[in-house]
Amino acid sequence: MTADDDARAIEWTGTGLRLIDQTVLPARLVYLDVADVDTLVDAIVRLAVRGAPALGVAGAFGVAIALRQAAAQGWDAATLDDAIARVREARPTAVNLAAGVDRVRPLVPKGVDAVVAEAQALLDEDVRGNRAIGAHGADWILARVGEGRRLRVLTHCNAGALATAGWGTALGVVRELHARDRLEVVYADETRPLLQGSRLTAWELERAGVPYFVQADAAAASTILRGLVDVAVIGADRVAANGDTANKVGSVGVALACRAAGIPFVVAAPWSTVDPATPSGEAIPIEERPGGEVLTWGGAPVGPPGARAFNPAFDVTPAHLVSALVTETGVLEVSAGMAPGRSAP
């Protein structure tokens, strides 16, 4: 598999961002051109672009979009600041979004080209980092499980090429195991309510020729306890200094089942997702999304009129359940006491 076989979820065209509109996958591969801040914020809020590293890149290029719009429409400094703040705060949990904005913001006085160059550097670093995460993750997993056979890997949500600048974090590990002919099958949790697992992860695995099953989220614990899974590998939206990890809601249930079954629970994430300023999971802001996402299916109601939904988009897995944090520089055995806040490069 070459680097070009995976999807390019996010690209700078010279005048704006071209995104794969992830709300319409897998039915259609549709691109969305974004040249203004309102359209970008809307794309982030409705998950047309999503996944922590991809949000970081979108945030960085979002500053360039705001600058171009400011020049075209004669914005004053306060209007520009407000536009950049709206991009930065469009979603709260993935630290990459704010970090992407903050990385390029000091370059605003130097103009659009300087901002675009730094945003492109972030994008390129992410692709390179994902390749390294894939290799480190596969090495660590193969040294601990498998005993020479092909592995059965469970993943939750989508931490693939679509969620990053390319290749993927958790799916980068999966792609690497597949390339080494050490992958038997992936169990892809469907990921209620927005189905990032069945719509997006399955779409990527299909394109990559990786064998997989989609399973209901509710099946995950039993699949693990029945001995059908060798290792779970997920991505992250924010890793606190102590190793507590926020990821798509349902991840902590997978981690608990892995602990009960005695198999590793692996988090694959770049250092850009580690937030040393957040001491522990309690301080991670958890996005709550509209109840309608839970109470409708394909536009039809699945609850009685008046039903209320609780719809947290993420949960926090405590550090003691995280066997390994795989970054682009290597692996930290978090549950064994290797806190990322003490090891940041």
Angle (CA) 15-17-19 rounded to 5° is 150
Residue from 20, 47, 123, 254 touching ligand MRU (CB under 6 A): that is 47
Residue from 237, 275, 315, 328 touching ligand MRU (CB under 6 A): that is 237
Q: Is 159 in the site for ligand MRU (CB under 6 A)?
A: yes
Amino acid at the residue 319: A
DSSP labels, 18-42: EEE-TTSTTT---EEEE-SHHHHHH
CA dihedral 156, 157, 159, 165 (to 10 degrees): 180
Name the residue whose CB lies closest to ligand MRU. Answer: 235
Q: Which residues contact 34 (CB under 8 A, 6 or more apart)?
A: 16, 17, 18, 19, 40, 43, 65
Least distance to ligand MRU, CB of residue 233, Å: 11
Q: Which secondary-structure segment (H or E) carries 183?
A: strand 183-189
53 vs 340 by CB, closer to ligand MRU: 53
55 vs 107 by CB, closer to ligand MRU: 55
Question: Is 4 a known active-site residue?
Answer: no
Residue from 88, 126, 127, 196 touching ligand MRU (CB under 6 A): that is 196
Q: Is 169 in the site for ligand MRU (CB under 6 A)?
A: yes
Least distance to ligand MRU, CB of residue 162, Å: 9
253 contacts 223 by C-beta, under 8 angstroms: no
Secondary structure (3-state) at 330:
strand
- Count Cβ atoms within 10 A of the Cβ of residue 119 and give its class: 0-12 exposed, 13-18 middle, 19 or more buried: buried
Among the listed residues 126, 237, 244, 275, the single catalytic one is 237
Report the chain's C-alpha Rg in angstroms.
19
224 vs 236 by CB, closer to ligand MRU: 236
What is the pattern of x (binds ligand MRU, CB under 6 A) and - over residues 241-270? ------xx----------------------
Total number of residues that touch ligand MRU (CB under 6 A): 18
Q: What residues act catalytically?
A: 237
Binding site for ligand MRU (CB under 6 A): 47, 50-53, 94, 157, 159, 163-164, 169, 196, 235-237, 247-248, 313
